[in-house]
Structure 1
Amino acid sequence: MLRRTACGTMPLLLLTAGPAAAAAPGADLSLAWGIPFVGMLASIALMPLLAGRIWHHHYGKIAAGWAVMLVIPFAIVFGPGRAAEEVWHIVLQEYVPFIALLLALYVTGGGVLLKGTLVGTPLTNVALLAFGTAIASVMGTTGASMLLIRPVLRANAFRRRKVHTFVFFIFLVSNIGGSLTPLGDPPLYLGFLKGVSFFWTTTHLSAEFLFCAAVLLAIYYVLDSIAWAKEKADAPAAGVREPLRIEGTINLALVGVVVLMVLVQGAWQPGEVLLFGQSIGIERLVGIAVFLAITAASIRLTPAALREANGFAWGAILEVAKLFAAIFVTMAPVLAILRAGMDGAAAPLVALTSDAAGEPVPWVYFWLTGALSSFLDNAPTYLVFFNLAGGDPSVLMTRDALTLAAISCGAVFMGANSYIGNAPNFMVKAIVEESGERMPSFFGYCAWAVVFLIPLFILVTLIFFR
């Protein structure tokens, strides 16, 4: 099915590779190597509907099965040693730093308790979503999501119609809100590491951000007002209102340390060391150690009673850890094919990014980056199109600024189109369900995105990228 030269470089997620280095690995890869990834997506989408009991008890084994279906053919061609080496590359270079960061934010966010009387009226809910959207670019979409999803759950505990609140929370806090700084969302952080100025996104994406946030908050307010009118009789009786206060503030300080460490990793790169046969940046190892230390500190310094009152549990992060391990492995060949550009199996798709004169077409970059970010990890997808657009930050920030803005918006905004487009999406879903509330199925959530996000992104295209 594949030539040996392709298989050897298939499972790579080289986030720091330049255009020339990224083009070669996937040049001979067949699209058939994407079958395990498609199978993984199909399992996440269909099995909870068709075989829910089996999925909820064995989703980790099913996810691992799809990863094995990719790794075994590789091992047959190159031998178990080489297969183990490539899998270890993904685990060490990409997955472990990813899950260590998520774990630190999950645990610290779950240690902050907002107490007091918080009633989920339309105005209160809009205020919570707007606040989360505003802080997401400072503490990251994951940090903001973990900090606020539990207060939103408690404020709306008495509501019968609230699915729309959690869906719009993902739209806004877990995605749109992270578009203004490299701290907000991993794609922009990768751009920062490639040389994009820290405040470039703040100055060049603010109009798109404000437009999307304003439209979505307005739509949400209308939807929630309609729902509220049908059930406001069930609202808690007015009485003594407990003032709002925050407990577990030490965790806010720990979140600040997480954010600082992310910045340090971008500015401090002292070199690489060889670990288990892999060259890995010292700053990454330090980052992993710091994130794990922050996790341990949060657990030790936060009273168990506070976490219990906050509804904290480990199920959500365990689910994300298991599923995204398989997603990272199975999506590797798809990304390699994209990195091959015009030399790869996705050449017809790549050809759409330039016009007859060879100039980039911003609106095509917006939709291609966004469409793939909806189902692939949006961080490496951003880097694929960053490199396809030339990969030179000095050019992309100036002459081709519209193209870079389109790539950035596509990766950040359209990560909201499915549960797996951005890690916080799945974490929010898992936490809500763990709390006993209902969330849409995979396809159900995508239907919400089609109804509310796709028309919005069409307007973004017409206003900003034509």
Structure 2
Amino acid sequence: MSYEKAVGKAAGQKAAGLGAKLAGWCFLLACFLAPELANAAEPGSGAPHLDGAELTLVWIIPFVGILLSIAIFPLVAPNFWHHNFGKISAFWGLAFLLPFTFLYGWQLALFELLHVGLLEYIPFIILLLSLFTVAGGVRVTGSLRGSPVVNTAILALGTVIASWMGTTGAAMLLIRPIIRANEWRKHRVHTIVFFIFLVANIGGSLTPLGDPPLFLGFLKGVSFFWPTTHMFLPMLMVSIILLAVYFAIDSYLMKKEDMSEAPQPDGSDEKIGLEGKVNLLLLVGVIGAVLLSGVWKPGVSFDVYHVEVTLQNLTRDVLLLAIAGLSWKLTSVKSRKANGFSWFPIVEVAKLFAGIFLTIVPAIAILKAGTDGAMANLVNLVSHEGEPQNVMYFWLTGILSSFLDNAPTYLVFFNTAGGDAEYLMGPLANTLLAISAGAVFMGANTYIGNAPNFMVRSIAEERGIAMPSFFGYMAWSCIFLVPLFALVTLVFFV
């Protein structure tokens, strides 16, 4: 059987398997809710509302559980985790959903499930799938030797382009070339870790295209180029320091490499080039589809049990799926095979983040309750006698963004600071800078802080790089990032 047919067959089997599992879940959910259907709210009635002020911190136990599972299982039972991470994610999702349904009723549970699914999780996965497929079709050909200069140049390039094609797009475009360039080297983990720091996070600081929190700010009225002018100096300072530190570490580790394994020029090396160039145009299409959903407001929406699905967002998702399909069709399967492309990383992210997005619901609701919620003591730290405390805005937005979805966390503190974009861009510009920098920069603190982090880790592990565990990666971020963020605090927010 040819590779193309084998890939097609495997993809079909995976799709069928996922479809069967989804159907089974829907059937079980329907059976669970069926006894209550007769008591459904009348058409036209108000949407169910989750009051975060009513929730205690007990409700975040499933979220903590899935985080600990991601952190511990790969260490103590790697084989079990590899074959069952989807079931573990489903377990923690149900550990939240079932008690919540029992205590608050099926209407509210169904509304929250549809809300997080239709407005957050499905668009999130569709965007990642599109970027993963398109960027995975671009292959850098030729003999690229992973030296400190080459590696630092790739990290710098990724940092620059991340603000204009998104951190996920830049990360998916460059992760395979940098892995392939360093395949001959023994010491590679540090390169991937700094890649996550710079390309998958800090590089996305300068435009709403770079990172989802900034895009939310754009939708709330923050000018498109406001991050470009205000985030430039913090981003430049952090990036230059990290690139310099990386170059020093890589130069030191290069001396420990067995140079006999290094690619040697023999006159027959293939020239540096690109295969799958059509995917670069498709990447522009992805960016255009995302921008379209932010600026086009036709005023048309569809109600799915009180969840408003707007035409612009639906159009965006259809376009993204179409672009992913075009990429798969137009890119040589042989080129994807040579690029080390497989579906496992996106499948892993889809399964794990399904549980994360569901279990994060009560945590975000508690945060939205502000001073009336169980995290009131945290929220109170960002203001003193009516004056915003920018240091606390930076660190609280950042720390919570490290573990929660950084986009809604940004929005919570954006609204806590008043929610008026014009005022925040004016007299409170430093407060908005603190919120923006915290959400974008500190997404690098953990594997789940920003979408591409986990995908980069998954791709690296699939290519044979023994990446740090969840807590191991946090040790790297504590050593290299936290002191830098302290410097950012002193320079920009004190």
| TM-score, normalising length: structure 1 | 0.93
Superposed, 1:65-214 pairs within 5 Å as 65-214=91-240
**Secondary structure in 2 aligned to 1:299?**
helix
Distance in 2, matches of 1:342 and 1:223, equals 45
1:269 to 277, 297, 313: 297
Q: Deviations over 1:255-287 (max 9, x none)?
A: 000001111111112124224322111111001
| Cα contact 1:182–1:191 (8 A) shared by 2 | yes
1:43 to 69, 78, 83: 69
Match of 2:54 in 1: 28
| 81 and 362 in structure 1: CA distance in 2 versus 1, 3 angstrom threshold | closer
**Secondary structure in 2 aligned to 1:114?**
strand
Superposed, 1:58-457 pairs within 5 Å as 58-231=84-257, 233=259, 234-240=261-267, 241-277=269-305, 278-355=307-384, 357-457=385-485
Distance in 1, matches of 2:217 and 2:406, equals 12
| Cα contact 2:460–2:467 (8 A) shared by 1 | yes
Distance in 2, matches of 1:73 and 1:372, equals 25
Q: Deviations over 1:138-184 (max 9, x none)?
A: 00000000000000010000000110000000000000000000000
Q: Deviations over 1:356-375 (max 9, x none)?
A: x3110111100000000111
Distance in 1, matches of 2:224 and 2:128, equals 22
Distance in 2, matches of 1:105 and 1:432, equals 17
Deviation at 1:79, TM superposition (A): 3.8
**Secondary structure in 1 aligned to 2:271?**
coil
Distance in 2, matches of 1:164 and 1:259, equals 30
Name which of structure 1's ranges 174-183 and 77-86 shifts more when overlaid on structure 2. 77-86
| Cα contact 2:406–2:443 (8 A) shared by 1 | yes
Structure 2 gaps of 5+ residues are 1-46
Identity %, equivalent residues:
57
Q: Deviations over 1:203-255 (max 9, x none)?
A: 00000010010000000000000010111523122322432111101101000
Deviation at 1:82, TM superposition (A): 4.2
| Cα contact 1:24–1:340 (8 A) shared by 2 | no
| Cα contact 1:272–1:279 (8 A) shared by 2 | no
| Cα contact 1:109–1:143 (8 A) shared by 2 | yes
**Secondary structure in 2 aligned to 1:236?**
coil
Distance in 2, matches of 1:151 and 1:364, equals 39
| Cα contact 2:302–2:311 (8 A) shared by 1 | no
**Secondary structure in 2 aligned to 1:246?**
strand
Deviation at 1:24, TM superposition (A): 7.9
| Rg larger in structure | 2
Distance in 2, matches of 1:32 and 1:268, equals 41
Match of 1:4 in 2: none
Distance in 1, matches of 2:352 and 2:74, equals 14
* AA partner of residue 252 (structure 1): L
Structure 1 gaps of 5+ residues are 1-20
**Secondary structure in 2 aligned to 1:27?**
helix
Deviation at 1:136, TM superposition (A): 0.1
**Secondary structure in 1 aligned to 2:334?**
helix
Name which of structure 1's ranges 70-79 and 149-158 shifts more when overlaid on structure 2. 70-79
Cα RMSD, aligned residues only: 1.3
* AA partner of residue 184 (structure 1): G
* AA partner of residue 84 (structure 1): L
* AA partner of residue 25 (structure 1): D
| Cα contact 2:301–2:310 (8 A) shared by 1 | yes
Deviation at 1:84, TM superposition (A): 2.7
